[in-house]
Chains A and B, each alone.
Chain A
Amino acid sequence: MKETESYNELLPHMFRQEYAKMTAILCRHFGLKHIEIAEDIASDTFLKASEHWAINGIPENPTAWLYTVAKNKTKDYIKHLSVFESKVKSDLDSNKSVQSDFEYNEQIIKDSQLAMIFAVCNPANNYESQIALALQILSGFSVEEIANAFLTKRETIKKRLHRARLNLRNNNFQIRELTKEEIESRQSTVLSSIYLLFNEGYFSKTNNQLIRKELCFEAIRLTKVLSDNKLTNTSQTNALMALMCFQSSRLEARTDQKGEAILFDDQDRKLWNKLLIEKGNFYLRNATIGKEISKYHLEAGIAYWHTTANKNKWRSILQLYNQLITMEYSPITALNRTFAFSKVYGPEKAILEAEKLKLNENNQYHELLGYLYTQSNIPKAIEHYEKSMELTKSEIEIKSLKKEIERLKEKTTSNNVYKK
């Protein structure tokens, strides 16, 4: 009885990761061109598992059980499907002789996963498609789940995935052990796709905490695949991992039970995940063995300082942002840099810096100016907060901006009372 209950918990979790791994192994077998066959066999296998395990309980070695079923299904598939003979086999034969049996072991699973990550993070697709594809193929998310994460219609995601898959199939990437050259030429794309996947979770438009966390942890899991492989365990990989660990350590603390954002200064530090901070420190040390400084190094450095209570940290944070913005411009870096500037030199000087940015259509720009004017000019602060409310689409942000405006209005009226 107990076993049939726990299968309900085990299966969805296992499903995603094992499904993705199995698809990768089967793609190694069939070739990326026939990824649909691989996926069909993998999902048939898990369907069978869900039926069988519900009745008989979880087998002693679930992974072995799954792969045995998958092997049998592959054999059946090759035996019974006449289409295979006429169409597919000729394709496959040109690559290698097809066997109905396939190998699997820890190393092959790891290699196939790594190759699959490199196949999916393919410059032939734009980043949006890459992330959607990564979630589907590498992480086993359903179309529904991806649509929820992006706050996008199912149909849009479906179309996006369809196009991306076409590109993937036509790109002759082989799922096998990667060469050093392949890794070198593609790794920066892979890292930035994972980085964006993480940000999609961390700064997600959705209120759903569970989805946000899952996206973040998927990004970490994929990076772990990279850091577990000697060829991909580079300084940048470690820096990215450190960055994601530090950021994730605050996932619990940055929203309240209603999903509303809690600002950094108001967060309960006890809710920060110490284990993740320690992991971040570990990866950051690995990342700084060489001389290389990438944007991941700088961002990891900033995220590191945020986990400390050091009083002088803002000076270091500003320095890192200074380096980051001269390396690569982005509005969000410019805004964060100006915030750090205000922490070091005060709001008066920071207002001068901020007004040079001229990001008038950016809601966060007005939020920053609102914050900077809070001490010196409340009507102006309110004006900027209101402008920010007009520009943002996020319900959570609108709520917290409203709250802040209310607070400032009360402050002015109570000040007037004092004057009287």
Chain B
Amino acid sequence: MKEFTLIFRMSDFEKVKPSPEEMQERMNWLASIASQNKLVDKGNSLIPNAESAKTVRSGDVVTDGPYTEIKEFIVGYVIVRTEDIDEAVEMAKTNPIFKIGGNVEVREVLKRD
């Protein structure tokens, strides 16, 4: 089994705060993976607001807000355990984030030990 980090990205600040229904949908998605014993780490949500995010650049340059050069910002991550990347991609496809214009980046975890 391999481990993959699913990185959630959004481009619309307005839609980040979920409604109770959206919250329930997200929990259902996460619990579905956990029910298959494939959840390694339920991860965290990352707050994208200006007062909760800073970006630090070379030369002591600090700007407010998350890194948005690609017009997107990271809102959270989850780590799953699957046979291969295709299975992780299939999991990502069922995430409700697509309903609110987000996307998911799937990245294999390099395990050092």
Binding site for B on A (CB under 8 A): 315, 318-319, 321-323, 325-326, 329, 333-334, 337-338, 341, 353, 356-358
Contact = CB atoms under 8 A, between A and B. Distances in A.
Interface string B5-39: 00000000000000000001001101110111101
Contacts, number: 40
Nearest to A330: B37
Contacts of A341: 28
A336 to B, nearest CB: 10
Main secondary structure of the interface of B (DSSP, over half): helix
6 contacts: A323-B27, A325-B31, A325-B34, A326-B30, A326-B34, A334-B36
Contacts of A323: 27, 31
A353 B27 contact: no
Interface string B82-100: 0000000000000000000
A357 B36 contact: yes
A186 B56 CA distance: 45
A266 to B, nearest CB: 27
Main secondary structure of the interface of A (DSSP, over half): helix
B37 to A, nearest CB: 5
B2 interface: no
Contact of A329 (B24, B30, B39): B39
A74 B37 CA distance: 55
Contacts of A325: 31, 34-35
B27 A356 contact: no
B24 A319 contact: yes
Contact of A337 (B24, B31, B37, B42): B31
Nearest to B26: A322
Nearest to B31: A322
Contact of A353 (B24, B32, B39): B32
A322 B30 contact: yes
Nearest to B29: A322
A37 B28 CA distance: 56
Contact of B32 (A315, A319, A333, A356): A356
Contacts of B28: 318, 322, 341
B31 to A, nearest CB: 4
Contacts of B39: 326, 329
B34 A329 contact: yes
A329 B37 contact: yes
B36 A319 contact: no
Centre residue among B24, B30, B34, B39 by max chain A CB count within 10 A: B34
B105 to A, nearest CB: 21
Given A321-B31, A326-B31, 5 more contacts: A322-B28, A325-B35, A334-B35, A341-B28, A356-B35
A333 B39 CA distance: 14
Nearest to A328: B34
Contacts of A318: 28
Given A319-B24, A326-B42, A356 B36 contact: yes
